[in-house]
Amino acid sequence: MAVQFRITTAILILVLQCAMADAQEKPRIFLGASSKTLGYSPLWVASRKGFFDQQGLDVQLVLLRGVPMTVQALAAGSLHFGSGGPEPYIEASERGLDFVVTGGIINGIAQFLIAGRNYKTYEDLRGATFGTASLTGGTITALREALKLRGLEYPRDYKLLIIAGGSSANLAALQSGQIAATTVAVPLNYAAEESGLNIIGRLSEGIAHFQTNAFVTRRSWAEKNRPVMVRFMKAMVLTFRWMFENRDLCVEFLSKEMQLKPVHARRGWEFYTQTRFWPPDGDVTLEGLKNNIRFYAEQTGAKGPLPDASKYVDQSYLRDALKEIDKR
């Protein structure tokens, strides 16, 4: 009995040691995403195609409803990484939270403004109600700036109605007549047009640079976990490059995982790769981030000089990741 106990104990210790070693080699990382859409699909490619695993990371994707909820979870320590429009994170940083942008996800405006059949121009939408997933974040900032460029000011010329559930929920609200217009990201614009809705315009017209979505973490955590940070960014760079270099395999994956028609998945892939809104090197566009800050300051009535965009960014982890990749 004593011998059996010693053997059992030894096996238990060995199992625990292996588990501890595996945990040390493969830390569990919680990554928050505010929607599961084509623009965010690199996160699912990295997870499902094994790019995180290859870097020894156990990354758990956590789908949250909207960027504000992601910001709260990151601030509370429930997430290691957040993602989404940088404005709420920057605003939180100004309130004392130590958030930092470490890499890009969507480096441009991929949204189109769509409207019901009775609306064909921007001017037709004067006085109308627009649906939006949130009153903060990259998409609403871009929408308000695009409308401002066409002479429509908020709240003087239009109303905003929060529709929870992302682009698909806003599209349903538009089709039911609850709202007159909304924004949808590629490739939902193709489905909207096919259903008879009108494409009013592309929000990026007149806005050359913009950081729609980015990776954000807590600066203090990143500094204490530099090797993990570098491995995470390395996984994302390899993901982006695989997506660019493997069109057919990528389109097949996107169609199944994002539940898209194959033709929409292909057109969406062409859009994001040809515009390079998916950044093949995983970087943030500082010129775009400057516009995010400027537009958001104007829309919120912020006073004083604008902060330098680099204040909120640390791409040193990305640079180290690229060095390791280039050594291969």
- Domain boundary among the residues 176, 202, 228 is at 202
The pLDDT value given to residue 140: 87
- How far, in Å, are 3, 5, 9, 58 from residue 16 at the CA level? 20, 16, 10, 18
- Statement to judge: residues 260 and 317 lie in one domain: yes
Report how many domains make up the chain.
2
User: What digits encode the pLDDT tens for the residues 241-253?
Assistant: 999 999 999 999 9
pLDDT greater than 60 at residue 280:
yes
Residues contacting residue 268 through CB under 8 Å, at least 6 positions apart: 38, 186, 187, 190, 254, 260
Counting residues of the chain whose pLDDT is more than 90, the rounded percentage is 74
| Confidence band of 103 (pLDDT split at 50, 70, 90) | very high
- Statement to judge: residues 261 and 119 lie in one domain: no
- Statement to judge: residues 167 and 298 lie in one domain: no
- Statement to judge: residues 313 and 219 lie in one domain: yes
Range of the domain at 98: 2-108+211-327
The pLDDT value given to residue 238: 98
- Domain boundary among the residues 167, 202, 237 is at 202
Count other Cβ atoms within 10 Å, centred on residue 25. 10
- Statement to judge: residues 265 and 240 lie in one domain: yes
| Confidence band of 16 (pLDDT split at 50, 70, 90) | very low
Helix, coil or strand: residue 129: strand
Contact 232, 60 (CB under 8 A): no
Mode of pairing for the β-strands spanning 181-185 and 129-132: parallel
The pLDDT value given to residue 317: 98
- Statement to judge: residues 83 and 96 lie in one domain: yes
| Confidence band of 190 (pLDDT split at 50, 70, 90) | very high
The pLDDT value given to residue 258: 96
- Statement to judge: residues 178 and 231 lie in one domain: no
- Domain boundary among the residues 184, 202, 220 is at 202
CATH value at residue 217: 3.40.190.10
User: What digits encode the pLDDT tens for the residues 111-145?
Assistant: 999 999 999 999 999 999 999 988 877 788 889 99
The pLDDT value given to residue 295: 86
- Statement to judge: residues 100 and 139 lie in one domain: no
pLDDT greater than 60 at residue 164:
yes
Tell me how many degrees the CA angle 266-272-276 measures, rounded to the nearest 5: 140
Burial classification of residue 150, based on how many CB atoms lie within 10 Å of its CB (0-12 exposed, 13-18 middle, 19 or more buried): middle
Q: E strands along the chain, which residues?
A: 28-33, 58-63, 81-84, 99-106, 111-115, 129-132, 159-162, 181-185, 198-202, 213-218
The pLDDT value given to residue 24: 55
- Statement to judge: residues 92 and 32 lie in one domain: yes
Higher pLDDT, 9 or 60: 60
- Statement to judge: residues 215 and 314 lie in one domain: yes
- Statement to judge: residues 62 and 176 lie in one domain: no
Confidence (pTM): 0.86
- Statement to judge: residues 67 and 147 lie in one domain: no
User: What digits encode the pLDDT tens for the residues 307-317?
Assistant: 899 999 999 99
| Confidence band of 156 (pLDDT split at 50, 70, 90) | very high
